[in-house]
Amino acid sequence: MAEPAAIEPPVFARVAIVGLGLIGASMALAARRGGRVGEVVAYDASDAVRARVAELGLADRVAETPAEAVRDADHVVLCVPVGAIGTVAADIAPHLAPGAVVSDVGSVKGSVVAAVTPHLPAGVSFVPAHPVAGTEFSGPDAGFAALFENRWCILTPCDASTEDAVARVRALWESFGAKVDTMTPHHHDLVLAITSHVPHLIAYNIVGTAADLETVTDSEVIKFSAGGFRDFTRIAASDPTMWRDVFLNNRDAVLEMLGRFLEDLSALQRMVRFGDGDGLFDLFTRTRAIRRSIVAVGQETAAADFGRPGAPTPKEPGA
């Protein structure tokens, strides 16, 4: 008779999630499903969000204050916009348990390390993290446990990170189904500037340009949206507060990559202007191969659901 599979002990006895948007809600669901967390405590600054989190049953307990949420928690995850993370860290610092591990989910890391670490008491570790996963939806209703499956979570250890804390945060994300890598905060911000931040900036600009065109009515833009523009609108529908803070807090890296993009765009403009068909064909062939490589390594599918089967489609507020 086969031996029963060993049950892995919890990575953390109590995880406090501060901020219940898409990522925080998905973390709560994944943590409760995965069995590697003893208790999930949730807190959000919004009364309405806290009420909705309780109604949806996303956490074992919903706290009414940040202090209540983090008290006795051995892991605290800050799922708030990066522009607010320093203030939140200062608020919770006096209430952190000795030996607690603090982390975050922001898509900028250098400014987050600078904003959080000065507030942490001695004996508390900080392991910055960035799950490279998401949808254009936000709020607790947008969360789903499978969001992180087969997606990367990047850890960016800093001076406030201990080896044990990094290993435990890695184990937690792996229990969510994520693949985990590590890099320095500075390198992370450069990489994400070109893979995420500048593409979002371009999408916001393209959609804004289309909306501003006086020669095309709004109904025609919507009615005749081809695949390219439609995909841009998906990206441009992302949370405005989060992305405002991303660009302001990763300014140097974004400007560096945006400068490179503008140089390449000028070269492309010359190809179109002077009828350089061979140059255009070579460029399009190279970029097509990149898309196929992303699909091949499992970070996307060729399906029209953007590789997110099972993702909910919450209604817009007031809809």
Domains of the chain, by residue range, sit at 12-183, 187-275
Distances (CA, A) of 71 to 15, 92, 191, 198, 261: 10, 9, 35, 38, 46
More confident residue, 56 or 317: 56
Rounded mean pLDDT of 292-304? 64
* pLDDT above 80 for 216: no
| Nearest CA-CA partner of 38 in 68, 66, 7 | 7
Class of domain 187-275: mainly alpha
pLDDT digits (tens, 9 = 90+) for 125-160: 999 999 999 888 889 999 999 999 999 999 999 999
Query: What is the mean predicted confidence (pLDDT) over 196-202?
Result: 88
Give pLDDT, residue 299.
Answer: 61
Q: Rounded CA gap, 101 and 171, in Å?
A: 13
- Cβ atoms within 10 A of the Cβ of 110, count? 21
Q: Give pLDDT, residue 295.
A: 67
Q: Which residue has the higher pLDDT, 261 or 314?
A: 261
Query: In this predicted structure, what is the pLDDT of residue 318?
Result: 42
Return the CATH architecture of domain 12-183.
3-Layer(aba) Sandwich (3.40)
Q: What is the model's pTM?
A: 0.81
pLDDT digits (tens, 9 = 90+) for 266-276: 999 999 999 99
- Kindly indicate the confidence band of residue 231, based on its pLDDT and cuts at 50, 70 and 90: confident
Does the pLDDT value for residue 194 go beyond 70? yes
Flag the least confident range among 142-146, 170-174, 299-303.
299-303
Q: What is the mean pLDDT of residues 94-108?
A: 96
